[in-house]
Amino acid sequence: MTGLGGYGGRRLAALLGRVGIWSFALQRLAARDEIDAARQFETLRYPSLWIPESLGSKDAMAHAALLLAGTDRIPLATGIANIHARDPMAMANGARALGEAYPDRFVLGIGVSHAPSVEMRGGDYGKPLVQMQKYIDAMDAAQYAAPEPNPPVPLVLAALGPKMLELAARRADGAHPYFVPVEHTPIARQHLGPEPCLATEVTAVLTTDRSAGLDIARRFAHNYLLLPNYANNLRRLGWSDTDIESESDKLIDAVVAIGDVDAIVRRVNDHLAAGADHVCVQIRAEKSTDPAVGAYRELAVAFNL
């Protein structure tokens, strides 16, 4: 691949570091406020920062450009840029432009999204694996008149099931599983093989109030458990329909780390021990606009960043 992908899984793992940040809150803030938060994350020496793209969110490419320009060194990764939000040439060339301007600071994560979200955009969800294969082919073939990035932009795929993980191993530098319990990680590593980077998201609520933490975690998990991709992934892992439909405490605890700093550190380390190269931690606070800088500061100390 030229300019996109081909970065190398081991090199990407080193770029992202073992523990990074995944933040929904940033895209809910005014530009000045989110840049201030990102600069604080940078000061805390976090090695990478992941940002989402969802319905109603900031455009992933524009958002990444904003944060890259507003910070000095921290790499930005899209978690996940929706392939139904832009055509393959726009995706590839947007990534190339950012990669050329900010070498070793932009990681393109792409995914097929979910049927309800795609339908709301007026798109056709179709067969996700086939769509992703064709999309990557088209990105590879995209014409680009500007200078190519050097090094190439790392490419990761949002992947939960075996076939998408195996596609990530063949066609990308790694995979980015989201909303997964620890038992998913060794399975993901098995399907990826040793070379690709496995960058796993972990959601956490930092609190000593168990009841309040469960409430925040359950509100976060509710909409994900309604999406077939996530629910079916949990079923593959042995979770019952009763657990999923009732949003059982046991299931919520499995997909969200709830507790003090030590509890979150244990969950991150469990994923790393199970085969993840990188864990990006999404701290959920009471308010969705809270970037949780204080909580990330506590974690930074615990991880000796």
Task: Quickly list DSSP for the chain.
Answer: --SBS-S-HHHHHHHH-SEEEE-SGGGGS-HHHHHHHHHHHHHTT-S-EEE---TTSPPHHHHHHHHHHH-SS--EEES-EETTSS-HHHHHHHHHHHHHHSTTSEEEEEE---HHHHHHTT-----HHHHHHHHHHHHHH----SPPPSSPBPEEE---SHHHHHHHHHHSSEE---S--TTHHHHHHHHH-SSSEEEEEEEEEE-S-HHHHHHHHHHHHHHHHTSHHHHHHHHHTT--HHHHHHT-HHHHHHHEEEESHHHHHHHHHHHHHTT-SEEEEEE--SSTT---HHHHHHHHHHTT-
**In 113-159, which residue ranges form alpha helices assigned H by DSSP?**
115-120, 128-141
Q: Is residue 154 part of a domain?
A: yes
1 located within any domain: no
Average model confidence (pLDDT) for the chain?
A: 95
Number of domains in the chain: 1
Mean pLDDT (whole number) for 52-77: 96
Residue 11 has pLDDT above 60, yes or no: yes
pLDDT at 1: 45
- Report in angstroms the alpha-carbon separations of 271 from 106, 124, 132, 202: 24, 34, 26, 9
146 occurs within a structural domain: yes
pLDDT digits (tens, 9 = 90+) for 211-264: 999 999 999 999 999 999 999 999 999 999 999 999 999 999 999 999 999 999
Q: What is the pLDDT of residue 120?
A: 65
59 pLDDT higher than 70: yes
Our CA angle for 101, 111, 118, nearest 5°, is: 115
Between CA 96 and CA 26 the distance in angstroms is 23
Residue 128 lies in a domain: yes
Whether 3 is covered by a domain: the verdict is no
pLDDT at 2: 54
Give the DSSP H or E segment for 273: helix 261-273
- Whether 260 is covered by a domain: the verdict is yes
**What is the largest distance, in Å, between two alpha-carbon atoms of the chain?**
56
Q: Are 148 and 92 in contact (CB under 8 A)?
A: no
Rounded CA-CA distance 32/67 in Å is 10
**Angstrom distance (rounded) from CA 123 to CA 67:** 29
For residue 79, give the nearest of 53, 99, 114 by alpha carbon: 53
Q: For the residues 53-79, what does the mean pLDDT come to?
A: 96
* 171-224: pLDDT as tens digits: 999 999 999 999 999 999 999 999 999 999 999 999 999 999 999 999 999 999
Q: What is the pLDDT of residues 122-140, one digit of tens each?
A: 677 678 999 999 999 999 9
Q: Is residue 61 part of a domain?
A: yes
Examine residue 2 and state whether it is found in any structural domain, yes or no: no
The predicted model gives 63-87 an average pLDDT of 97
Q: What is the pLDDT of residue 117?
A: 67
Residue 172 and residue 156 in contact, taking contact as beta carbons nearer than 8 Å:
yes
R_g of the chain, CA atoms, integer Å: 18
Choose among 164, 173, 165: nearest CA to 192. 165
Q: Is the pLDDT of residue 77 over 90?
A: yes
Q: What is the reported pTM?
A: 0.96
Domain CATH number, residue 160: 3.20.20.30
Residue 122 pLDDT: 66
Within the chain, strands assigned E span 19-22, 49-51, 76-78, 81-82, 106-111, 155-157, 174-175, 197-206, 256-259, 278-283
Domain range for 244: 9-302
- Other CB atoms within 10 Å distance of the CB of residue 138: 15
